[in-house]
Amino acid sequence: MKKLEMIYEGKAKKVYNTDDANVVIVDYKDDATALNGLKKGTIHDKGIINNRVTNHLMKMLEKEGVPTHFIEEISDRETIVKKVSIVPLEVIVRNIAAGSLAKRLGLEEGVKMKRTVLEYCYKDDALGDPMVNEYHILAMEYCTKEELDLIASYSLKINEVLSAYLKDLNIELIDFKLEFGKTADGTIVLADEISPDTCRFWDSVTHEKLDKDRFRRDMGGEEDAYKEIMKRLLGE
């Protein structure tokens, strides 16, 4: 597999073409951003941790029947994945009130909700990733009704699998963000990453935050929090 020119650089990753038109290489960076890119910094070895944690969880989800873009991890920071066209939606899965939901609905952070909440945001940095509902999504043709139903079904399944797995590691899955893409033949697959960048992980006993909120809220200790997640998930 030959790595060719860079085709995309985002806040947390670079993506490179390869000599296979249906395959790209993702390279995870240590750059950290928050508040829609207004806050910038670096978390040492974040790229390594996010790459390895994402791949570990994606392999697990594949076994549970959730198709993903994952193909092969080729280094600490680089992974070969299927080339997809990203569905322009962020899917947010919420189990416990935190972050913007707690603020928006006047809930105390940490309140367990009666059922899992799915939210959708339109992926557009310039607009601040505005929240949209099913009517907006179908009216703007971001995806079809069948695709949206499948995305919702996969998102709830991912939540079920990850929540059960993490519970055994004394990690509470508060909420998390997912992105999906379409492969060349139109198959919907889980893309992007599942990591302390995109999930709120709390220690089940102490409720200590083990995710990007430590950076977002100037709490400090983000490097140790990311390392703790890798240690619990991968034993390293």
**H helices present in 168-236, as ranges:** 213-216, 222-234
> pTM score, two decimals?
0.95
Q: Are 209 and 219 in contact (CB under 8 A)?
A: yes
Q: How confident is the prediction along the chain (236 residues), in pLDDT tens digits per residue?
A: 899 999 999 999 999 999 999 999 999 999 998 877 778 999 999 999 999 999 999 999 999 999 999 999 999 999 999 999 999 999 999 999 999 999 999 999 999 999 999 999 999 989 999 999 999 999 999 999 999 999 999 999 999 999 999 999 999 999 999 999 999 999 999 999 999 999 999 999 999 999 999 999 999 999 999 999 999 999 98
What is the fold of 85-222?
Answer: D-amino Acid Aminotransferase; Chain A, domain 1 (3.30.470)
Other C-beta atoms closer than 10 Å to the C-beta of 56 total 16
Nearest to 71 by CA among 7, 24, 12: 24
Helix (H) or strand (E) holding 83: none
Domain boundaries, the chain: 3-82, 85-222
CATH of 3-82, one of 3.40.50.300, 3.30.200.20, 3.30.1490.20, 2.130.10.30: 3.30.200.20
Q: What confidence score (pLDDT) does residue 234 get?
A: 97
193-212 pLDDT per residue, tens: 999 999 999 999 999 999 99
Domain 3-82 matches domain 85-222 at the CATH topology level: no
Q: Give the Cα separation of 138 and 19 in Å (integer).
A: 35
User: Distance (Å, rounded) from C-alpha 95 to C-alpha 170?
Assistant: 16
Nearest in space to 23 (alpha carbons), one of 189, 191, 183: 183
C-alpha dist (Å) from residue 78 to 9, 22, 40, 71: 14, 17, 22, 11
